[in-house]
Amino acid sequence: MSQSIETPGVSGEQPAAETKLNAVRPGPAEGAERAEEPERHDTPAPAPHGEHPFLQHHFDTPKHQFEAGKLGIWLFLVTEILFFAGLFCAYSVYRSMHPQIFVWAHYYLDTNLGAINTGVLILSSLTAAWAVRSAQLGQRTHLILNVVITIGCAVTFMAIKYVEYSAKFEHGLLWGGRPTAAGTAPKYRFDPHEPVWETHSFATKHPEAASAARKLFAAAHPEGHDRGAATHQRTPVAPPSSGGPPSGSASAAAAAASLPLHAAPSASLGPPAPGGEVALAVADGVALPPGSAAPGSSAAALAPSAAARAPSAAALAPSAAIRSPAANAPPLGPGAASPAPAPATARSSPGDPISLVGSLTQAEALPLLQAGILGPSALDPNVPSRPRNAHIFFGIYFFMTGLHGVHVLAGLLVWVWILTRALRGHFGPKYFGPVDYAALYWHLVDVIWIYLFPLLYLIH
């Protein structure tokens, strides 16, 4: 008889399982009943369900009911996968189009918190699977314990998500787009308060690039780095598709403040900046720095020699690879170029940010180019900035993780329901379907996070 094949691990649970089985099932008579059952199947007897309080009348046996429920939950899981597939598709398409935005944005995400959350979900998957096992074996205490741990993991996951989300909110890393034409800011406006090279993640991964970006930025914003940083990051630079200068009261001030700088591509500037027109947003409309305001020492340190420029030309080459043949693409598009008729003077002093860009070494320039901080895909190609349309990443990020979080919350409620039923002793070897279905759903939520974690947090 097949039942005699037992694994050591399972047989250890035998006594508990036995007692539960005997408690629920009228055991001894079953062998005798079996002979009658074929007839009973052909002409359904009225009574057999009386033995199983949770066997619905339209199912023949507990197994019949369990298998039907399982098919139902799998059908539901399939639709869930298709539901998330739309978001994975949006992610894939946008990443294939703008890889530098994803590189840029991942510096803002906390890999440690993401990894901890992955561990929390895997642990909860273990306890969910264990809860099913406990229910199957009729181990009520183990079942309750496992369900409680699963609920605890779900709460922990959502708490960590709360920490992550509030950090994003505090730093202006939101999904909202540009200011509206009326000048009113959208409620959830994307407005990073901190440049990416100031993030801990970027500074530890690419210290040279971070310090180079800092110096470049200081050169472009001589009034003071902090103030300049805030101004630069908050000034709405004309988006590429706006087709004209920014309008509206708030952005008009910004437009007035932005000083167009005409960078004549001369030999003294080193590698020509991609694009002829550069609009630098400067707070008070003060003329751009040159060497006067910029600390000369750092400028000298950044512009060492002609020899140092040669590798930088090579370092700029990948920017063409980032955005294929459009190496000469106008960095800001027509909208940005139009408010630039002012005859700004081209300066070739060592403190000029444009010549500083040309003097970067490969180690300094490559991370900046790959993240779209400089180069043709940057908001402003000659001053460290961010990739254009970077807020769309956060649209995708919040939608994917948010939808996943909603599923975690729904699973949390389901587990609480399972817990109440487990406390009432509903589950046993003959009836554990709800525990199994909840666990299946929970595992699917885990599987989706298994993909979300590397896709969002581990971008290289």
Partner 1 sequence: MAARKITRGSPRDHATPGLTGGSPSGMRYGGVESDADAHSADEHEGALAHVLPVKLLLGIFGVLMALTVLTVSVTSFDLGSSANLTVAMVIATIKATLVIAVFMHLFWDRRFNLLLLVTCILFVLLFITLSLNDRAEYQPYIDQLQAAKAAAAQ
Q: Which of residues 34-73 bind partner 1 (CB under 8 A)?
A: 34, 37-38, 40-41, 48, 51-52, 60-64, 66-67, 70-71
Nearer to partner 1, 250 or 346 (CB): 346
Map the footprint of partner 1 across residues 273-312, applying CB under 8 A: 275-277
Taking CB under 8 A as the criterion, the residue among 18, 191, 198, 208 binding partner 1 is: 18
Map the footprint of partner 1 across residues 356-415, applying CB under 8 A: none
Nearer to partner 1, 151 or 218 (CB): 151
Report the nearest approach of partner 1 to the CB of residue 274 (Å): 8
The yes or no reply on residue 451 touching partner 1 (CB under 8 A) is yes
The yes or no reply on residue 85 touching partner 1 (CB under 8 A) is yes
Burial of 345 (0-12, 13-18, 19+ CB in 10 A): exposed
Question: Rounded to whole angstroms, how far apart are CA atoms 69 and 57?
Answer: 14
Nearer to partner 1, 308 or 447 (CB): 447
Per CB under 8 A, which region of 117-125, 386-394, 395-403, 410-418 contacts partner 1? 117-125
The yes or no reply on residue 3 touching partner 1 (CB under 8 A) is yes
Q: What is the three-state SS of 151-204? A: HHHHHHHHHHHHHHHHHHHHCCCCCECCCCCCCCCCCCECCCCCCHHHCHHHHH
Report the nearest approach of partner 1 to the CB of residue 385 (Å): 18
Per CB under 8 A, which region of 176-184, 319-327, 398-406, 410-418 contacts partner 1? 319-327
Report the nearest approach of partner 1 to the CB of residue 423 (Å): 22
Contact assessment for residue 428 and residue 139, using Cβ atoms and an 8 Å cutoff? no
The yes or no reply on residue 97 touching partner 1 (CB under 8 A) is yes
How many of the other CB atoms lie within 10 Å of CB of 325? 7
Question: Rounded to whole angstroms, how far apart are CA atoms 385 and 197?
Answer: 9
Give CA separation, 436 vs 136, 351, 392, in Å: 9, 67, 38
The yes or no reply on residue 170 touching partner 1 (CB under 8 A) is no
Residue type, 377: S
3-state class of 331 per DSSP?
coil
CA angle 398, 402, 406 (to 5 degrees): 170
- Provide the sign of the torsion angle of the four alpha carbons 271, 274, 277, 283, taken in this order: negative
The yes or no reply on residue 243 touching partner 1 (CB under 8 A) is no
Nearer to partner 1, 92 or 420 (CB): 92
